[in-house]
Structure 1
């Protein structure tokens, strides 16, 4: 067990259970806030070891049932991603509960120094993402889509019940998110969204998901990060290697992670997508990839509208993209209806 003999108020010293997770014989040198988090507190903990060297750790702590869920999501997600890409993920240590506060939960990992202001260029960013997908492809512990626990996008719980079909799994999640998006806005009427929602669920999702699993095709689950916005991927201090963290992991279709690169909210765009396709093949049918990319972008846009309901722009953004996909499917259907039927000469 480490010790915390800092000259601070007793209530500011580290809890006994957290000290037990730190290196044996270490002495806590400093505890400082680390980064921004809307739902948990985060800290940088420096520990001096008996040999005179130092180690630095990252702690995330949350209170109550919501805090427990966020901490569990962080620990299990980071442990899973670290297994496949340890060079790109901070090494998890443990999760636990404070002895002094049984309602307070914590996640502990090794702290990685990163360059805060720079967004990794496409080659570095994609090297980490593609490595995670490629190394984990086909290694789902059940062979299905899902995850051992329900992970969190912010504090938004993600239903990760193991499911054999990607279409069924993703449709269930999207239906759930749209219900929660409505609840987050207190059922506030939105005529266009009400019109589009059933068309999206009943026409768009089958149109772009079902072909992945029909006519001899299938989706092989891989581990995805599921929250690759720029705040969760930074350069390590070498200015070359990308570090990924704060995942809300699940075993799913690898292309889900690419939705963020299309989102105009973030400074990515086509160079990141092109770099990814150099390393990982496009799923068949290839001709649907652009629309699937829009669909997977829509997932995170809906989730943001749930988390920040007081920003009306977020709702209008995802509604406009939903309209785009609905109209594309309707145009396809109209073309099919207008196509002349071949006459039989028998």
Structure 2
């Protein structure tokens, strides 16, 4: 887990205390530190009414912040708190706690959701539209920045070939597995076959003899726990994405 704990600042149990960076600090909204724009993490004059633990994460602390805005209207935000470099590099909009070193947060509007599975027809129709209508820069596979599947970094950068990008991504995943758990004799023996025979045999025909694969924007970690139904609209929602341009079935 990439969250080390924040004594006194945990969400729920009547606690309304937040780290100063969240309550009144600056929120970084650019991953380019040389061109960063800043705004307040919570709007000026906001009053935290309640906090509550919300959602399930194996690697972060997630919660709901109920706030009264300066004009008196209620608003809710979702917050995710992660420690270490993973937390610092992961979000698009984020800040760093003042009270706990090397612990970082991401904050966005809170969406009230129902846990039920989305309607299959509406869900897949929207997903198909995402794949079909998306356009990758220069028609390549990958992403401009490193995205994260849970707390695992995904391959950044661009490749013209789906086979090449898939192979490099698989290599990164295996390197992370070996780094975390050490070498395994059986796996070490299978890896050369995977890269030299299996991947080329399955993927190369997709880009041979005039055939091509359209790079499609994919969610990257699409499973039932990363989907829900918006209470207010009834629309399906997907979240916790690690998006990149890939084969649409990735």
Same fold, TM-score > 0.5, yes or no: yes
- Cα deviation, residue 17, structure 1: 4.6
Residues matched between the structures, number: 222
C-alpha distance in structure 2 between counterparts of 1:9 and 1:240, whole Å: 31
- What is the match of residue 221 of structure 1? 215
**In the alignment, structure 1 residue 150 sits paired with structure 2 residue 142:** no
TM-score (norm 2): 0.79
C-alpha distance in structure 2 between counterparts of 1:228 and 1:52, whole Å: 38
**In the alignment, structure 1 residue 13 sits paired with structure 2 residue 33:** no
Which of the two has higher C-alpha Rg? Answer: 1
Gaps of 5+ in 1: 1-7, 76-93, 257-346
Superposition pairs for residues 220-239 of structure 1, below 5 Å?
A: 220-237=214-231
Does structure 1 retain, via aligned residues, the 8 Å contact 2:19–2:97?
no
Structure 1 residues 231 and 55, CA gap change in structure 2 (3 angstroms): same
**Larger strand proportion, structure 1 or 2?**
2
Does structure 2 retain, via aligned residues, the 8 Å contact 1:39–1:67?
no
**Match for 1:205 among 187, 199, 204?**
199
Superposition pairs for residues 218-297 of structure 1, below 5 Å?
A: 218-237=212-231, 240-256=234-250
**Match for 2:64 among 10, 33, 44?**
44
TM-score (norm 1): 0.58
Structure 1 residues 131 and 111, CA gap change in structure 2 (3 angstroms): farther
**In the alignment, structure 1 residue 98 sits paired with structure 2 residue 110:** no
Task: Provide the secondary structure at the position in 1 that maps to 2:141.
Answer: coil
Superposition pairs for residues 291-306 of structure 1, below 5 Å?
A: none
- Post-superposition CA distance 1:15-36 (Å, at most 9, x none): 2355322223221111111111
Task: Provide the secondary structure at the position in 1 that maps to 2:107.
Answer: strand
* TM-align CA RMSD: 2.3
Does structure 2 retain, via aligned residues, the 8 Å contact 1:147–1:161?
yes
C-alpha distance in structure 1 between counterparts of 2:20 and 2:236, whole Å: 32
**Larger helix proportion, structure 1 or 2?**
1
C-alpha distance in structure 2 between counterparts of 1:38 and 1:56, whole Å: 23
Task: Provide the secondary structure at the position in 2 that maps to 1:50.
Answer: coil
Does structure 1 retain, via aligned residues, the 8 Å contact 2:59–2:150?
yes
| Dislocated runs of 4+, deviation >4 Å | none
